[in-house]
């Protein structure tokens, strides 16, 4: 399993040791507003960690806990998976942060590091990201990453905004 680092963050594949930090994030209604739409229960967080561990074993990539390199605190999570969790679908990048760590640039720092990993190591032809149409904070992360807005798409019974970053655009930026 792949551990990554960037200037302020350490990226550890989800493990049971991250439960407290991940659940503190996922039980926060502000964090979950555009995701589940309600706080996650402890059992849901445990089940999510277990699912992610299975994907790491099967795919060799999935979600990382984002840790402050100095304190070791879990400040958020970021991941690379596939749209609709279908391995034949394009790679998808995602992020979320504990509420007290919004506005510090951690999501963008993680997005850049994960995009580098997706293109350089996983050989992704392009990266997609989806968001609730009203989630402007996440839209700004997508824009800072250099993603292009494609439009609204149906996904699991709702409409989501789709953004795309082709490999060539990422390499041109680098
Ligand atoms: C989406 C989400 C991760 C964005 O978090 P964020 O803190 O706004 O994004 P970043 O970590 O990239 O921080 C960027 C902000 O930090 C500021 N900042 C402060 N210090 C900074 C630094 N050292 N470096 C970079 N930016 C810094 C930037 O100016 C920017 O502020 P702005 O958006 O007002 O212009 C956060 O809103 C969240 O967790 N939401 C709930 C979960 C969610 O919706 N996830 C996305 C699903 S699609």
Residue 107 CA: nearest ligand 1 atom is 11
Which residues are within 8 A (CB) of 135 and not within 5 positions of it... i.e. 6 or more apart? 34, 161
Residue pair 49/15 in contact (Cβ under 8 Å)? The answer is yes
pLDDT digits (tens, 9 = 90+) for 89-98: 999 999 999 9
Beta-carbon count within 10 A of 71 CB: 8
- CA–centroid distance, residue 18 to ligand 1 (Å): 21
Q: What pLDDT is stored for residue 17 in this prediction?
A: 97
CATH class assigned to 4-124: alpha beta
pLDDT digits (tens, 9 = 90+) for 133-173: 999 999 999 999 999 999 999 988 889 999 999 999 999 98
Q: How far apart are CA 1 and CA 7, in angstroms?
A: 20
Residue 135 CA: nearest ligand 1 atom is 44
Q: Is 167 helix (H, G, I), strand (E, B) or coil?
A: helix
**Mean pLDDT to the nearest integer, 33-46:** 97
Bridge partners (DSSP) listed for residue 126: 166
Choosing from 140, 160, 162, 163 the residue with most ligand 1 atoms within 8 A of its CB, the one to mutate for a pocket test is 140
Nearest Cα residue to atom 25 of ligand 1: 105
Closest listed residue to residue 93, CA positions, set 65, 60, 131, 55:
131
Residue 129 CA: nearest ligand 1 atom is 48
pLDDT digits (tens, 9 = 90+) for 97-128: 999 999 999 999 999 999 999 999 999 999 99
Residue 97 CA: nearest ligand 1 atom is 39
pLDDT digits (tens, 9 = 90+) for 62-94: 999 999 999 999 999 999 999 988 888 999 999
Residue 58: pLDDT over 90? yes
Bridge partners (DSSP) listed for residue 148: 164
Q: What pLDDT is stored for residue 174 in this prediction?
A: 62
> CA angle, 137 as apex, 134 and 139 as ends, to 5°?
70
H/E element holding 109?
A: helix 106-120
To which residue do tokens 């009203």 refer? 134
pLDDT digits (tens, 9 = 90+) for 11-28: 999 999 999 999 999 999
H/E element holding 79?
A: strand 74-82
Which residues are within 8 A (CB) of 36 and not within 5 positions of it... i.e. 6 or more apart? 26
**Mean pLDDT to the nearest integer, 30-38:** 96
Nearest Cα residue to atom 32 of ligand 1: 103
Q: What pLDDT is stored for residue 115 in this prediction?
A: 98
Residue pair 85/62 in contact (Cβ under 8 Å)? The answer is no
Domain edges within the chain: 4-124
Number of C-alpha atoms within 13 angstroms, CB side, residue 171? 9
- pTM, rounded to two decimals: 0.97
Residue pair 58/52 in contact (Cβ under 8 Å)? The answer is no
């Amino acid at each position: 399993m792949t551990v990554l680092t960037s200037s302020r963050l350490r990226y550890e594949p989800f493990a049971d040791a991250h439960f407290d930090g991940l659940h503190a994030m996922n039980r926060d209604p502000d964090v979950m507003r555009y995701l589940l739409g309600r706080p996650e229960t402890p059992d849901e967080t445990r089940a999510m960690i277990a699912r992610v561990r299975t994907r790491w074993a099967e795919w060799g990539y999935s979600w990382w806990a984002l840790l402050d390199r100095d304190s070791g605190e879990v400040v958020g999570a970021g991941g690379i998976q596939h749209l609709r969790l279908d391995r034949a679908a394009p790679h998808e990048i995602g992020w979320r942060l504990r509420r007290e760590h919004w506005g510090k640039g951690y999501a963008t720092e993680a997005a850049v590091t994960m995009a580098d990993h997706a293109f350089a190591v996983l050989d992704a032809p392009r990266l997609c990201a989806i968001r609730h149409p009203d989630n402007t904070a996440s839209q700004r992360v997508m824009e800072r990453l250099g993603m292009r807005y494609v439009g609204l798409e149906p996904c699991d019974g709702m409409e989501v905004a789709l953004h795309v970053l082709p490999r060539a655009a990422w390499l041109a930026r680098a």
